[in-house]
Chain A
């Protein structure tokens, strides 16, 4: 799974800033799970009032995205499994045996788990104090620090890889640590990515925990530390477990950042699929590894959904965290209880988060003869020794064009799916069908972007579907990657519509179609801005699938960045940094706009 999309997927789970006023009602028992609260009421427009016309509309709306998924997701995945396990029409486990008898495979699987476990541990251990400081305490500049923490979310993986390399390279500001090209560097970059996932998931719950529960424990004789361990931590437990499983999934499927930082020495199953495909041209081994990756991801998702179910325990929450206490660093001249988390958070924000981003920016302005914009001027060229086939600006234009196509596709399909899935048909069979569709469109979220790209590569390059040279191939792949995100953004908004609004409209004589246009429509439009922004940002930064499908004459910006850092020469390295900054600014701008367009009912993923 390409981490770009998935990190974006967690962005809207928790909201920051003043808009938080639109939170669940005060003092209520609130479902804190990831899934939106669904109504149990039936809505018209399914099978009751609209008769067969309405039903037919729903079926058509469901059939289009299902057909899209069948052709561009199920078929490539099936082709991939077939490639790994079937030779000449018969089951052949030779490929499996070959892959699993190689010590390289076991080393890669071991490395995948090791970096995922360490990355998760780091993100949780640093993120919990961060959640406390940034969400339960107030201090001047808190909004700024919260924004800073969020930025790594929206950076494409390739950019992060380049940023960490520029920070840790022997000539970089932290070069003396000797971490360049080490396993530690990969783990640090993974923590950089996922710190905010923990901070926002845990912090969002923590600030809404009623502080009086802990105060009740204090009044019963518990010291502050004991009250935290016996009352607050158990209440946060499900949120921490849920954040940890998401982070684990991201780390286990990290691709771009590992490819950039790990070189050929360190890798994950994802990078190994890429290397087997592009370096060793061993498609059978790559197919087997893709299946291994599928198993790992599905297992992680299963654990994830179990912790999510546990999260849905009723907690006493209060709606608006109106009065957060100021940060108390000292208490009567001695170190206060807030000192340790505050120091940890300051170090994380300053060193782990800010330093790579600043270094990337500063070093992109560095030229052999002092400071200047030379690297940016060079983006109009094809690099030293013609490292590229197109200029970086042309690649950026490619990226934008592809993003427009991918976004259009993803939003179109996503809205159709959301409209169908938000219905509550009266018949049990209809409800089962809706639940089934809901699950089907979420499947790509659980399958890595690398698998999607690789599946396209082996399935769509020969009849009946030969799209190898078609310009729609990459947009379609990126749309598959972005589709679950669009659905998860739009769906909660549609589900939040009180079903009685639709019932009132129907009673007043509106046909199912009019109900859709006049009741659902306005809500849909408001959530569309955010969905478009997400899909666009995902597409811009997408590297996992694109790296398999990109053609030399039409590369995208992330592909160009990756290519440049692999080339020798100061000019190419400088251009890589400048291009990474451009890419980061593009995605950050799109995400910033999308966040501003976020409606009152924020979509949660």
Chain B
């Protein structure tokens, strides 16, 4: 059994159970994301793996060896927090070198390793800067370099990008993916953002109310959400249609002005055409969008054809892209 293995993990705070019996595997060299809404217990699970919270029940092993009673600093697991938690009284290099000092690495090797890591995270010239002089994104890079420096056998990342703005988050998620692969790191990555999870991880474990409800590669999860709630969490629009539950992906709907004589009924199984009414019109990411009300389904946002001119209240034809629909 190589890598991390958790069986029946339970974490309790007083009378509340944050993690209710979770099985989780992270193989060596693999990046696994724990994805779930806030309060689902994913951070508690991560803290239990780190050794910061005791496991009320369950078994935690690394390469088959029991880790339950091993204190935090002897587990050899790295940890990176949402807000970095850099040491304010040390400069950039002083932060990165901390774990190497704890490991008793010779000074020359320490310097080399720090330079190597600052290079890896793209902050080669920042060694002597004070922490307060860094932007949020730079601080997170330093935190990542610090966590990677002692070559942890497992890196635990707790929402490392959540404190950043969207553009930076998307950029750093891609970068994080590359850095973790370049360093050959085994990692457990906690996030509530499905785009981030799908970008960074090899496998994603979907967590809800203290339990893991589904595990798979990003493609598997996207192709077959386990239930309606999972589908909704991943960004699908879930509707009931003729006794079936359909999950419709965000970009599967397009609207066009209704042509009187095309005879579109409520739904045409062949042409995937529906009739709806425009509620409001918006604009997002260079495209006109329309909020449409579809009888029996409710309201959803759809992309409008660039040329069309839509008004609130006008009836429209809604086209459903078949590949964007999953039957649950």
Contacts and interface: CB of A to CB of B under 8 A. Distances in A.
Interface stretch (A16-24, A199-207, A208-216): A208-216
Contacts of B71: 218, 223-224
Query: How large, as a class, is the contact surface on chain A?
Result: 20 to 34
A223 B88 contact: no
Interface stretch (B95-103, B172-180, B210-218): B95-103
A213 B87 contact: yes
B102 A316 contact: no
B78 interface: yes
B132 interface: yes
Contact of B83 (A27, A221, A314): A27
A219 B72 contact: yes
Contact of A215 (B13, B72, B76, B88): B72
A522 interface: no
B15 interface: no
B85 A226 contact: no
B89 A222 contact: no
Contacts of A227: 73
Given A226-B102, A316-B83, A323-B13, A219 B73 contact: yes
Contacts of A226: 73, 102
B222 interface: no
A416 to B, nearest CB: 38
Interface in B291-315: none
Interface string A228-246: 0011001101000000000
Contacts of B152: 219
A274 B196 CA distance: 73
A220 interface: yes
A224 B102 CA distance: 12
B79 A219 contact: yes
B85 A218 contact: no
A220 B78 contact: yes
Contact of A313 (B73, B80, B81, B88): B88
Contacts of B83: 27, 316
Contacts of A314: 88, 132
Interface in B142-160: 146-147, 150, 152, 156
A217 interface: yes
Contacts of B65: none
Contacts of B79: 215-216, 219
B89 A216 contact: no
B237 interface: no
A315 B88 contact: yes
Interface string A297-323: 000000000000000011110000001
B73 A222 contact: yes
A320 to B, nearest CB: 16
A328 to B, nearest CB: 11
B15 to A, nearest CB: 14
A227 B87 CA distance: 11
B52 A234 contact: no
A216 B81 CA distance: 8
B106 to A, nearest CB: 16
Contacts of B52: 215, 218
Nearest to A318: B83
Contacts of A235: 88-89
B77 interface: yes
Contacts of A223: 71, 73
Contacts of A231: 87
Contact of B85 (A221, A222, A316): A316
Interface string B51-94: 11000000000000000000111111111110101011100000
Nearest to B80: A216
A249 to B, nearest CB: 26
A316 B72 contact: no
Query: How large, as a class, is the contact surface on chain B?
Result: 20 to 34
Contacts of B51: 218
Contacts of B74: 221
A242 B156 CA distance: 37
Contact of A220 (B13, B132, B150, B156): B150
Interface string A125-141: 00000000000000000
Contacts of B102: 217, 220-222, 226
Nearest to A223: B73
B4 interface: no
A212 B88 contact: no
A422 B34 CA distance: 51
A218 to B, nearest CB: 4
Contacts of A217: 87, 98, 102
Contacts of A213: 85, 87
A210 B89 contact: no
Pick from A218, A221, A230, A314 the residue with the most CB of B within 10 Å: A221
Given A221-B102, A314-B132, A323-B13, A216 B85 contact: yes
Given A215-B79, A221-B150, A210 B85 contact: yes
Nearest to A331: B71
B89 A234 contact: yes
A318 to B, nearest CB: 10
B50 interface: yes
A221 B88 contact: no
A220 B98 contact: yes
Contacts of A216: 79-81, 85, 87, 146
A219 B88 contact: no
18 contacts: A213-B87, A216-B80, A216-B85, A217-B87, A218-B71, A219-B72, A219-B79, A219-B152, A219-B156, A220-B98, A220-B99, A221-B103, A221-B150, A226-B102, A234-B89, A237-B89, A313-B88, A323-B13
Given A212-B81, A217-B87, A220-B102, 8 more contacts: A210-B85, A216-B146, A217-B98, A218-B51, A219-B72, A220-B147, A221-B76, A235-B88
Smallest CB-CB A-B distances: 10 pairs: A220-B99, A221-B102, A219-B79, A218-B72, A234-B89, A216-B85, A213-B85, A212-B85, A222-B102, A218-B73
